[in-house]
């Protein structure tokens, strides 16, 4: 297995089975710190730089919370408009990150351009974490999601993931790459204009991973162990920011998971949603036995503690 020390976390493509297992083991070690709401000194003397060119609630703050739990420091920006990258100068990624490397020991970047964190990693000597790049990938979210599955169901192998929503979404790409490393099935349900591309399916087929596509949540809900959701009513992830219009539309029934739909689900099935949600997952589902998205948010801190400890060399 490749060492994590000094490594960029840009994509789950090529992330190996043993690496997932190792990350989950380290997460198990660190989880009691978060559960006990303790702060320790594992990353004392280390600084994380956050460079968010797109809005975020969970990803940025979970990374910050993780650094605080481990005794490290955080600095950065959450609105690129207030930097030279977002004003008259339109400072390049290259110039920006070349300088940010002097301000900290690792960089976490969210960007509206697919591949921007990869570009950043070329121009900085500190490890770069992809916190979501356009429609590209969201590797730390999906590591969080699979760790949540591991904790809640005891395994990822042998499970059927029913993925509902916009398949252009970065989490959907990362989860498909990740599941190639497990004995798991993926079923996808998406509107035709948000479906998996032939190019992406061909790329997965090269790894002998085939995704079954169905039209309606009712066609597959009874098979699902993990109901994995993204909105179909959502923002353009290639934009730096999108304000909400007067009429955002509503989610067609075939992409919604309601209490009624869940009557046909396995009692043991769990719902994950990386959030924020729209009307595809009504709030009254929160009180069902299936909801695990709040646990998922909690494990988001544990997973960022894990990844930061590994790439900063505090954990082997």
Note the residues at the interface with ligand CP (CB under 6 A): 56-59, 132, 141, 274-275
Based on CB atoms, which residue is closest to ligand CP, 42 or 270? Answer: 270
Count of CB atoms within 10 A of residue 79's CB? 13
Least distance CB 263 / ligand CP (angstroms):
28
Least distance CB 222 / ligand CP (angstroms):
27
Least distance CB 281 / ligand CP (angstroms):
13
Least distance CB 275 / ligand CP (angstroms):
5
Q: Which of these, 23, 8, 298, lies nearest to 178 by C-alpha position?
A: 23
Based on CB atoms, which residue is closest to ligand CP, 241 or 259? Answer: 241
Contact 148, 140 (CB under 8 A): no
Q: Which of these, 90, 92, 97, 172, lies nearest to 128 by C-alpha position?
A: 97
Q: How far apart are CA 301 and CA 197, in angstroms?
A: 32
Based on CB atoms, which residue is closest to ligand CP, 56 or 114? Answer: 56
Q: Label each residue of 247-288 as H, E or C.
A: CCCCCCHHHCCCHHHHCCCCCCCEEEECCCCCCCCCHHHHHC
Least distance CB 20 / ligand CP (angstroms):
19
Least distance CB 61 / ligand CP (angstroms):
8
Based on CB atoms, which residue is closest to ligand CP, 214 or 275? Answer: 275
Based on CB atoms, which residue is closest to ligand CP, 58 or 315? Answer: 58
Q: At what angle are helices 293-311 and 17-35 packed, to 10 degrees? A: 110
Based on CB atoms, which residue is closest to ligand CP, 161 or 209? Answer: 161
Least distance CB 137 / ligand CP (angstroms):
11
Contact 311, 42 (CB under 8 A): no
Q: How far apart are CA 210 and CA 79, in angstroms?
A: 39
Based on CB atoms, which residue is closest to ligand CP, 124 or 140? Answer: 140
Based on CB atoms, which residue is closest to ligand CP, 47 or 78? Answer: 78
Least distance CB 205 / ligand CP (angstroms):
28
The CA distances from residue 174 to 17, 35, 230, in Å, are 14, 27, 13
Q: Which residues fall within 8 angstroms of residue 148, CB to CB, at 6 or more apart?
A: 272, 292, 295, 296, 299
Residue 63: Cβ-neighbour burial (10 angstroms; 0-12, 13-18, 19+): buried
Based on CB atoms, which residue is closest to ligand CP, 4 or 237? Answer: 237
Q: Which of these, 44, 103, 37, 50, lies nearest to 73 by C-alpha position?
A: 44
Q: Which residues fall within 8 angstroms of residue 306, CB to CB, at 6 or more apart?
A: 23, 26, 27, 30, 315
Half-sphere exposure of 261 (CA within 13 A, CB side): 23
Least distance CB 225 / ligand CP (angstroms):
21
């Amino acid at each position: 297995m490749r060492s994590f020390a000094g490594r960029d976390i840009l994509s789950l493509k090529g992330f190996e089975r043993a690496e997932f297992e190792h990350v989950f083991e380290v997460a198990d070690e660190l989880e009691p710190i978060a559960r006990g709401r303790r702060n320790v000194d594992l990353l004392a003397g280390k600084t994380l730089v956050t460079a968010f060119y797109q809005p975020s609630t969970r990803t940025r703050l979970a990374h910050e919370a993780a650094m605080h739990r481990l005794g490290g420091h955080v600095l950065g920006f959450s609105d690129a408009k207030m930097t030279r990258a977002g004003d008259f100068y339109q400072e390049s990624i290259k110039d920006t990150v070349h300088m940010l490397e002097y301000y900290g020991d690792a960089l976490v970047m969210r960007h509206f351009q697919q591949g921007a964190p990869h570009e950043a990693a070329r121009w900085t000597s500190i490890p770069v974490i992809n916190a979501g790049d356009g429609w590209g990938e969201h590797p730390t979210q999906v590591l969080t999601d699979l760790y949540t599955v591991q904790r809640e169901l005891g395994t990822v192998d042998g499970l059927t993931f029913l993925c509902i929503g916009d398949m252009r979404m970065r989490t959907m790409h990362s989860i498909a790459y990740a599941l190639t490393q497990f004995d798991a099935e993926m079923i996808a349900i998406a509107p035709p204009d948000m479906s998996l591309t032939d190019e992406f399916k061909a790329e997965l087929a090269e790894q002998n991973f085939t995704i079954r596509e169905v039209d309606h949540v009712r066609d597959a809900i009874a098979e699902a162990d993990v109901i994995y959701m993204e909105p179909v009513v959502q923002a353009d992830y290639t934009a730096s920011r999108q304000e909400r219009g007067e009429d955002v539309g509503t989610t067609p029934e075939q992409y919604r998971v309601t209490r009624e739909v869940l009557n046909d689900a396995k009692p043991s099935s769990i719902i994950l949603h990386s959030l924020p949600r729209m009307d595809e997952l009504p709030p009254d589902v929160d009180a069902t036995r299936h909801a695990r998205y709040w646990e998922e948010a909690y494990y988001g801190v544990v997973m960022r503690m894990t990844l930061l400890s590994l790439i900063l060399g505090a954990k082997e």
